Amino acid sequence: MSFKDLKLNRPLLRAVAEKGYDNPTLIQERTIPLVLNKKDVIASAQTGTGKTAAFALPILQLLYDKQESGKSQKKIRALIISPTRELAIQIQENFEEYAIHTNLTSTVIFGGASIDPQKEILKKGIDVLIATPGRLLDLHKQDIVNLDYVETLVLDEADLMLDMGFIDDVKKIERLCPEEKQTLLFSATMPYKVEQLAETILKNPKRIEVSQNSSTSKNVNQALYYVPKPQKIELCLHLLRNTIKGRIIIFRRTKYGVDKIEQTLLKNNYKADSLHGDKSQTLRQEALNNFKKNKVDILIATDVAARGIDIDDVDAVINFDLPNIPETYVHRIGRTARAGNTGIAYSFCSADEREYIKAIQQLINLQLDVVEEHPYPLDPKAKPIVHKKQGSKYKKRRKSEASKKKKKRWY
Ligand code: AMP
């Protein structure tokens, strides 16, 4: 099937050709006709499948076909809600590229950045708004954003949005839009709470599923290293020196862990940058750009900060800590081997993470290749290192932190 078969108009076909897309991806093949037919859609699709174009292209076509003549000010007719700033920026860049041969305009608003320039752009009028929930509600309250003319609402990465506690904001935003509208919901996974949300806000939605949550790309070689926790950093340095080449993303569960590795790598003269929720928006964007533009070869990130971000040509992913949610493993290794390339995922498993690896292997229905020849092997009988004292101290600290900053996230 070609993009032409999907009945996209000429300005969009030109843009797609200029982006170098030969054929639509599966999610595009399935979603574009439904959106053009004004159906509500619930799609389970991960980033990397081409899902942004799957909603952006038909939305632009609908807006293009129904433009008001004359010089009246543009109104927001499509609203895309994204959980993270990075993802929102990326979606807007896509809209801009696909709309290049049309007169349709888009902008992105997100928290953590100066509000005034965003206000100025909005006052001039735009067709498509991409927003994170908090900033959108803020600007709506200030009467800068008018959602009365929204024809299509997209909730992207709905599962992450709910994980991040945006459920009430999302529902509120949906209610601020006209009742008669088209709603599209995209989610990497479909837990019950996402299904519930879909049930309350979608009308007779068409379901699309392009890949199982549990499927990992055939193009990713997955290697597993059993290693004592204190020696993970040595193993990481050893592999960086001898085995892993190219552009690498290292995943850690916590912001503290990300910072710690970054310091070690910088000390060892690696060009690295990091991405996590405690960094300012400017620093996060800078880290991402540094990696995208090859100024650094290694990006260290927490899962939430990295989720959904489209970075091409990642040669390897290192799971420095194993994720406690098995689906996260699939997301992480999906960062590499995109668009038909091959990649390698290296996972480090310490004694206390054996349960995690079991769950992961069960989910992906695959036994990972265990690399036994390395300098820091884990004794198969090794017990998880749990210092009682440390454990209770840690628990106490977490408790007191939690009570001090109830909503502070660790990712
Ligand atoms: P997404 O899942 O939207 O993050 O897209 C992942 C990557 O696939 C992005 O770099 C897109 O530019 C690219 N992409 C989207 N659609 C196509 C297509 N039909 N052919 C080739 N690449 C595509």
**How confident is the model over 304-347, as pLDDT tens digits?**
667 767 776 788 999 999 988 887 888 888 777 665 567 889 99
> Which helix (H) or strand (E) is 405 found in, with range?
none
The domain that contains 304 carries what CATH number? 3.40.50.300
**How confident is the model over 20-42, as pLDDT tens digits?**
888 888 899 999 999 999 999 99
Range of the domain at 75: 4-209
pTM over 0.85: no
User: Which residues are registered as beta bridge partners of 222?
Assistant: 345
Same domain, 301 and 175: no
User: Which residues are registered as beta bridge partners of 248?
Assistant: 298, 316
Domain boundary among 188, 209, 230: 209
Same domain, 359 and 287: yes
**How confident is the model over 142-180, as pLDDT tens digits?**
999 999 999 999 999 999 899 888 999 999 999 999 999
* Most ligand 1 atoms within 8 A of CB, residue of 4, 6, 18, 19 to mutate: 19
Per the structure, the count of domains in the chain is 2
Is 302 within 8 Å of 275 (Cβ atoms)?
A: yes
Any atom of ligand 1 within 6 Å of the Cβ of 21: yes
* Most ligand 1 atoms within 8 A of CB, residue of 3, 5, 16, 25 to mutate: 25
From the CA of 53, how far away is ligand 1's center (Å)? 7
User: Which residues are registered as beta bridge partners of 159?
Assistant: none
Any atom of ligand 1 within 6 Å of the Cβ of 133: no
Is 227 within 8 Å of 235 (Cβ atoms)?
A: yes
Any atom of ligand 1 within 6 Å of the Cβ of 310: yes
Is 217 within 8 Å of 334 (Cβ atoms)?
A: yes
DSSP for residue 234: H
Same domain, 374 and 269: yes
Backbone φ and ψ of 226, nearest 5°: -85, 125
Check the CA dihedral 72-173-151-18 and report its sign.
positive
**How confident is the model over 102-153, as pLDDT tens digits?**
999 999 999 888 888 888 999 999 999 999 999 999 999 999 999 999 999 9
Any atom of ligand 1 within 6 Å of the Cβ of 47: yes
Atom of ligand 1 nearest to the CA of 24: 19
pLDDT of residue 112: 82
**Alpha-carbon span 201 to 41, nearest angstrom:** 11
DSSP for residue 34: H
Picking from 79, 148, 68, the residue whose alpha carbon sits closest to that of residue 103 is 68
Same domain, 202 and 298: no
**Alpha-carbon span 70 to 77, nearest angstrom:** 17
Instruction: Specify the residue with its C-alpha closest to ligand 1, atom 15.
Output: 50
Answer whether residue 401 is part of any domain.
Answer: no
**Alpha-carbon span 129 to 77, nearest angstrom:** 8
Q: Cβ of 187: how many Cβ atoms within 10 Å?
A: 24
Same domain, 188 and 250: no
From the CA of 362, how far away is ligand 1's center (Å)? 29
* Most ligand 1 atoms within 8 A of CB, residue of 22, 310, 313 to mutate: 310
**Alpha-carbon span 206 to 197, nearest angstrom:** 15
From the CA of 291, how far away is ligand 1's center (Å)? 19
Same domain, 74 and 189: yes
Same domain, 195 and 226: no
